[in-house]
């Protein structure tokens, strides 16, 4: 029997539904019940379980996975439907690595602690790295955690069902990730973290480079703004960071006048000195 995953916006209004069939295939259905040709989700879409994400406490860790099935697995395992003050929020973007991570998704994770649990294959790892990069300077902290013992293209649901994963082991990995040092490259089998009695190897190399007179570094300072973007990722307006409401109003006006959805996303621009 097909399973429907409903995507709702910040106002809890249905935007579209992703229907999963067995054998595995997907349909994207709009709010009027029409199947969209080519499973085309109109950008910018919304994150799965967005209302629950926005309603979660600010200090609740956000877990990003690849696929609605994995979101529901984690919500069940972590008991998120049984508490009013969850310690976690779980989400995914529509169609996972196929449609990719849109910058508008990152804006929903502003100042949050985020852990990404990738699928155990090359597309899954590439997708996780894209999410990691997009969240730099947006999330309070972000890290990638590779679940142990996964084989092939398995995911977190497989980890629980086939590889002996438990809630206790998962929470131990997640809490360890809270203290990890964000890095440009993820560790191959888990979380890159700071040694208790010294620097990581990457930190030592960076420290030596900073001290080397042959490699003087020019410090570049950045300033945060709000940008208004088209679905094609063209920036059409820029606002001071304190003027978010004005940026959102501009996006609404352009969405109506040009009949295409515009969105707001944080951007950083270098400060000229």
User: What does the pLDDT read at residue 188?
Assistant: 38
pTM given for the model: 0.67
Q: Quick one: how far is CA 51 from the chain centroid?
A: 15
Cβ atoms of 174 and 115 within 8 Å: the answer is yes
Q: How far apart are CA 128 and CA 101, in angstroms?
A: 9
How many other CB atoms are there within 10 angstroms of residue 125's CB atom? 17
pLDDT tens sequence across 209-265:
555 555 555 666 778 888 887 755 578 899 998 888 898 899 889 888 887 677 777
Report CA Rg, the chain: 20
pLDDT tens sequence across 35-83:
887 666 665 579 999 999 999 999 999 999 999 999 999 999 999 999 9
The residue behind tokens 């199947």 is 35
Q: What angle do CA 178, 51, 12 make, to 5 degrees?
A: 170
User: What does the pLDDT read at residue 8?
Assistant: 94
Q: How far apart are CA 8 and CA 167, in angstroms?
A: 28
User: What does the pLDDT read at residue 119?
Assistant: 96
pLDDT tens sequence across 188-210:
344 444 334 445 455 555 555 55
Cα–Cα separations (whole angstroms), residue 79 to 72, 160, 167, 218, 253:
10, 15, 10, 49, 41
Beta pairing, strands 113-116 & 61-64: parallel
């Amino acid at each position: 029997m097909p399973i429907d995953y409903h995507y709702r916006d910040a106002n809890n209004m249905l935007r579209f539904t992703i229907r999963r069939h067995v054998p595995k295939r997907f349909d994207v259905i709009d709010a009027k019940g029409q199947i969209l040709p080519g499973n085309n989700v109109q950008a910018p879409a919304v994150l799965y379980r967005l209302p629950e994400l926005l309603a979660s406490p600010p200090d609740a860790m956000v877990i990003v996975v690849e696929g609605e099935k994995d979101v529901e697995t984690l919500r069940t395992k972590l008991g998120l439907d049984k508490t009013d003050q969850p310690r976690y929020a779980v989400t995914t973007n529509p169609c996972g690595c196929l449609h990719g991570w849109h910058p508008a998704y990152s804006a929903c994770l502003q100042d949050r602690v985020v852990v990404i649990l990738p699928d155990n294959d090359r597309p899954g790892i590439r997708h996780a790295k894209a999410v990691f990069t997009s969240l730099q300077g947006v999330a309070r902290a972000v890290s990638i955690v590779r679940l142990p013992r996964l084989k092939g293209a398995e995911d977190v649901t497989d980890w629980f069902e086939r590889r002996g994963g438990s809630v206790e082991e998962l929470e131990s990995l997640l809490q360890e990730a809270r203290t990890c040092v964000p890095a440009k490259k993820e560790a191959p089998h888990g979380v890159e973290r700071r040694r208790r009695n010294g620097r990581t190897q990457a930190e030592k190399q960076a420290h030596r480079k900073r001290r080397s007179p042959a490699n003087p570094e020019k410090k570049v300072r950045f300033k945060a703004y709000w940008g208004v973007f088209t679905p094609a990722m063209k920036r059409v307006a820029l606002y001071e960071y304190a003027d978010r409401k004005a940026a959102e109003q501009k996006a609404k006006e352009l969405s109506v006048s040009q009949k295409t959805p515009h969105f707001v996303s944080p951007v950083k621009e270098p400060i000229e000195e």
